A and B are shown apart, each in its own frame.
Chain A
Amino acid sequence: MPPKLKKAGRDTSVLGSLDRRLKRPVKAASHGTSKRERPVWPGLWGTLDAKSGQKQVQAKKRAGKSRAAKKARRPRAPADIWKLLGKRIDPTQYRPKLAADIEIKHFPLRWGNDYVMAANPRDLLHYRLEPGEVELMELMDGTRTVRDIVLERFHESGDLELSGVVDLVMSLQAGSFLDPPYVDTDAALEKALDPISPARRKAREFLKTLMIEWSDADKLVRWMYNHILKWFFKVIPLALSLVVAITGFVAFYIVVHGHRFSLTSESAATGGLIILGLNYFLTFVHELGHATVMIHYGRRVKSAGFMIYFGSPAFFVESSDGLMMERKQRMAQSFAGPYAEAVIAGGASLIVLAFPGLFISSILYKFAVINYFLIFLNLVPLLELDGYWILSDLIQVPDLRPRSLQFFRHDFMHKLRKRERLTLQEVGLLLYAVLGVFFTIFTLYSSVFFWEQIFGSLIARLWHGGLITRGILVAIALFVGGPLIRGALKIIGWLVNHARVAWRQLRFKLETKWRVEAAELIDAVPLFDDVPVEVLNELAGRVKLRAFRSGQSVVRQGERAEAFYIVRSGVLHAIEESEGGKERVLRILGRGESFGELAVAQASRRRATVRAIDDCEVFEIDKGSFDRLLADMIKVPAFAPTFQDLAELRDLGCFSHLEQDELVDLLKEGDWFNVGPGELIVKQGEAAETFYAIHSGQVEVIEGKKVVGSLGPGAYFGEIGLLLHVRRTATVRALTAVRLYRLNRKAFDRLMRSAFKKGTLNPHAAVDRVAHH
């Protein structure tokens, strides 16, 4: 326990100070006490109740003045502060209200794969959503509770989307899309408890991520746009830049064919350093091109910075706000980077062609080569760079690369095994995936070759320049190659894991004989119901074979039960030890007999010691496997719902998509019941508190005296009462014997609360919805 902090001998805890404040005599609580009597401390709870009641009475008094004092003032019952608090923190009662400044934009696509972007402009956070999720967001206007939204959705779609709604509300809350904005005191505390200067924090972050982020980049880019760059969006400057880009490329072609310059001709180390500097400038211009287009179209730059990307130093612009732009604007934004580079490279090439004898021409030539190489890499749509984004926007498939890789890894192999024909679209995805993989390998190879050509001489000079320069080179290599080293470590980890799995499979094959024997013995244990084959298979994989020598104890009396056992061979005694040290043999155990299962199931201590009488072997099944696979088959009190229970519930259409744990909760909260033919299940006009789903049988729905319909297996009724808080609108009567599952309003709310508890209020949960360019 942490030591209790004392301040001048007083309790300084929050509750302590609250207690002190509340221990002052409370007027509302001191009615009836004489002047001599000391006011009695009504307790924390009582005081809180009195305070809230007092506040309500005061509010009433104020209101009463305006309404005149016609009516006698009746003492008001104090509000139950705990009930109020309970309501405030009840997630089902939470009324999500979308903040007024949230921007939502629909993006209809040619192939029907429409999507919606939602932006929180305060934090520049963007979520990519399905159209169905946006329909839910439209319901979040502060008038409906989460429960109302789930029910309303359920009424429309027939699916009880507990986790879907809850996840969306939590993600939106964590991303401050809701009003009031989410305040994370935990994060604020964590930051405050780590008191380092911003510069040190950035340095630490850089060493960890090899990235320095600057969140004020928008101001700089906006200033540059307003003063200079906006002119490039006018016709004449744009045309001039186009002329420079095109004529420059022609000039470059002429220079290359002139064979006057070569990549390796200049070996001066200073030349290499100048090119390195120009390369930084180049990437800066490239990213500035992207950022400028965003500003031009009214969006904002979230941040910009410097990073080491696959070993190369690079600038970046966090342009997720660009995802809110129209398709053509996004394409222009993607193209702007390579275009800015093309203009710079064109200018350099024109200088080289015009003044080949200039001392800097050789360096400018190399610079132009790097430029065109990077433009080529950026525009090839097989890498996830600008060309890819242009293509995906052009063909309106925003997830082209992940989709094609997904198809290649999973569906294609499956189709190949089944010898199924591929559709035209699948052929396209396959082609893209294969070309993408080959081109990535080619790029890595050509990059190494290219950079070696450009910087080879610099590296050689540093290597041969003595101990200090060699040290500098190693340091640079480690620094620049950090991500590659990390990647290599990941690959090694992956290989080790696969080797471990392969070894486990091999060992499993060698152990097949006794594992099968173990499964057969488990199946034969009379305490269990018939164990399904799939469970036996899994148990066979998890069981351990343990050997004990004569006189050795397998379990000891009083120990906590962590496993249960089945005897494979040998004889064991189950012995009860009395306090005086006397022993009494309770049972003699032989092959096929089990022990310890009840203690495991009931999480109790061992009631006896089991000792080997001669050398023996036992199969051991640990508590985790037991709980998961066997607990619900034991023929003693039910410890968990059976698979059959869950399957039966899943058969009901409205619950079919629920996850296993949600079904388990549903089983706990609702119940099954049967009615005979002719029995009334719901009576028109009575209070509605229960929802019903039909498993088997037929019911008829009667409005007044008229039969308006009948319902059968899979159908449900009673939701209108829950949804609209009205009395039953119709009578429902069983036509045949009917088996139903019912869920009352309270159970429904409990289920919702548990769905909230399972979720984690973590902004990173929505990371996949945040797009970075």
Chain B
Amino acid sequence: MDCWHCKRTAVGTCRFCGRGICEDHVETHPYILDTFRSGDVNKVLVVEDALFCGACTPRPDPVELPELK
């Protein structure tokens, strides 16, 4: 797989969208593995520095989709 940005050989893939990324273009972004609810508190399991391509846009603002309840 090649890097999305420079077409060099990729060393990893973006955790969010699957694009290939080389060492020069790799970025990191926290990734939520799982969510839990403990009492009134939401808790999340996080990878602090998951690989991120910088090209896709993981939305920080949750999207409402009531049809999926």
A interface with B by C-beta (< 8 Å): 1-2, 5, 12-14, 17, 48, 51-52, 55-56, 79, 81, 84-85, 88-89, 173, 180, 182-187, 189-190, 192-193, 560, 603, 757, 761
- What's the minimum C-beta distance from B42 to chain A, rounded to whole angstroms? 9
Tell me whether A2 and B51 are in contact (CB under 8 A).
yes
- What's the minimum C-beta distance from B12 to chain A, rounded to whole angstroms? 6
The listed residue (A2, A185, A603) touching B61 by CB distance below 8 A is A185
Q: What residues on B are CB-neighbors of A12 within 8 Å?
A: 33-34, 45
Q: What residues on B are CB-neighbors of A5 within 8 Å?
A: 33, 45, 47
Q: What residues on B are CB-neighbors of A190 within 8 Å?
A: 30
Decide: A55 near B69, CB < 8 A? Known: A13-B34, A185-B62, A186-B30. yes
Decide: A183 near B34, CB < 8 A? Known: A1-B12, A1-B51, A12-B45. no
Q: What residues on B are CB-neighbors of A180 within 8 Å?
A: 64
- CA separation between A153 and B30, bound complex, in Å? 39
- CA separation between A193 and B51, bound complex, in Å? 17
Tell me whether B67 and A81 are in contact (CB under 8 A).
yes
- What's the minimum C-beta distance from A636 to chain B, rounded to whole angstroms? 19
Tell me whether B61 and A183 are in contact (CB under 8 A).
yes
Tell me whether A183 and B59 are in contact (CB under 8 A).
no
- CA separation between A186 and B46, bound complex, in Å? 11
B1 proximal to A (CB < 8 A): no
Tell me whether A89 and B50 are in contact (CB under 8 A).
no
Tell me whether B68 and A183 are in contact (CB under 8 A).
no
Q: What residues on B are CB-neighbors of A13 within 8 Å?
A: 33-34
- CA separation between A5 and B35, bound complex, in Å? 13
Q: What residues on B are CB-neighbors of A187 within 8 Å?
A: 60
Tell me whether A186 and B63 are in contact (CB under 8 A).
no
The listed residue (A17, A189, A560) touching B46 by CB distance below 8 A is A189
Q: Which residues of B from 15 to 69 have beta carbons under 8 Å from A?
A: 15, 30-35, 44-51, 57, 59-65, 67-69
Tell me whether A184 and B61 are in contact (CB under 8 A).
yes
Tell me whether B32 and A189 are in contact (CB under 8 A).
yes
Pick the 10 closest A-B CB pairs, nearest first. A186-B60, A52-B67, A2-B47, A185-B60, A189-B30, A184-B60, A12-B34, A88-B63, A183-B61, A2-B50
B51: nearest chain-A partner, CB-CB: A1
Q: What residues on B are CB-neighbors of A186 within 8 Å?
A: 30, 60
- CA separation between A256 and B64, bound complex, in Å? 71
A4: nearest chain-B partner, CB-CB: B33
Tell me whether A14 and B34 are in contact (CB under 8 A).
yes
List 8 additional contacts besides A14-B32, A183-B62, A184-B60; criterion CB under 8 Å: A5-B45, A12-B33, A13-B34, A56-B67, A85-B63, A186-B30, A190-B30, A603-B7
Q: What residues on B are CB-neighbors of A88 within 8 Å?
A: 63-65
Decide: A85 near B15, CB < 8 A? Known: A12-B34, A14-B34, A190-B30. no
Tell me whether B68 and A193 are in contact (CB under 8 A).
no
Tell me whether B60 and A51 are in contact (CB under 8 A).
no
- What's the minimum C-beta distance from A18 to chain B, rounded to whole angstroms? 10
Tell me whether A560 and B48 are in contact (CB under 8 A).
no
- CA separation between A85 and B68, bound complex, in Å? 10
Q: What residues on A are CB-neighbors of B51 within 8 Å?
A: 1-2
Q: What residues on A are CB-neighbors of B13 within 8 Å?
A: 1
CB-defined A-B contacts under 8 Å, sample of 27 = A1-B12, A1-B51, A2-B15, A2-B31, A2-B47, A2-B50, A5-B45, A12-B45, A14-B35, A48-B68, A55-B68, A55-B69, A79-B67, A81-B67, A84-B67, A85-B63, A85-B65, A88-B63, A88-B65, A182-B61, A189-B30, A190-B30, A193-B30, A193-B48, A560-B7, A560-B8, A603-B7
Q: What residues on B are CB-neighbors of A56 within 8 Å?
A: 67
- Which of B34, B60, B67, B69 gathers most chain A CB within 10 Å? B67
- What's the minimum C-beta distance from A29 to chain B, rounded to whole angstroms? 15
B32: nearest chain-A partner, CB-CB: A14
A180: nearest chain-B partner, CB-CB: B64
Q: What residues on A are CB-neighbors of B63 within 8 Å?
A: 85, 88-89
- CA separation between A84 and B63, bound complex, in Å? 11
B69: nearest chain-A partner, CB-CB: A55
- CA separation between A761 and B67, bound complex, in Å? 26
- CA separation between A313 and B49, bound complex, in Å? 39
Tell me whether B67 and A183 are in contact (CB under 8 A).
no
B66: nearest chain-A partner, CB-CB: A55
Q: What residues on B are CB-neighbors of A85 within 8 Å?
A: 63, 65
- What's the minimum C-beta distance from B21 to chain A, rounded to whole angstroms? 11
Q: What residues on B are CB-neighbors of A193 within 8 Å?
A: 30, 46, 48
- CA separation between A98 and B46, bound complex, in Å? 33
- CA separation between A772 and B32, bound complex, in Å? 36
Tell me whether B49 and A2 are in contact (CB under 8 A).
yes
- What's the minimum C-beta distance from A120 to chain B, rounded to whole angstroms? 16
Q: What residues on A are CB-neighbors of B48 within 8 Å?
A: 193
Q: What residues on B are CB-neighbors of A192 within 8 Å?
A: 44
- What's the minimum C-beta distance from B37 to chain A, rounded to whole angstroms? 13
Q: What residues on A are CB-neighbors of B61 within 8 Å?
A: 173, 182-185, 761
- CA separation between A17 and B36, bound complex, in Å? 12
Q: What residues on A are CB-neighbors of B12 within 8 Å?
A: 1
- What's the minimum C-beta distance from B50 to chain A, rounded to whole angstroms? 6
Q: What residues on B are CB-neighbors of A17 within 8 Å?
A: 34
A183: nearest chain-B partner, CB-CB: B61
- CA separation between A173 and B63, bound complex, in Å? 14
- What's the minimum C-beta distance from A185 to chain B, rounded to whole angstroms? 5
- What's the minimum C-beta distance from A558 to chain B, rounded to whole angstroms? 13
Tell me whether A757 and B57 are in contact (CB under 8 A).
yes
- What's the minimum C-beta distance from B66 to chain A, rounded to whole angstroms? 9
- CA separation between A51 and B65, bound complex, in Å? 12
- CA separation between A2 and B50, bound complex, in Å? 6
- CA separation between A365 and B27, bound complex, in Å? 61
- CA separation between A48 and B69, bound complex, in Å? 10
A88: nearest chain-B partner, CB-CB: B63
- CA separation between A88 and B66, bound complex, in Å? 11
A89: nearest chain-B partner, CB-CB: B63
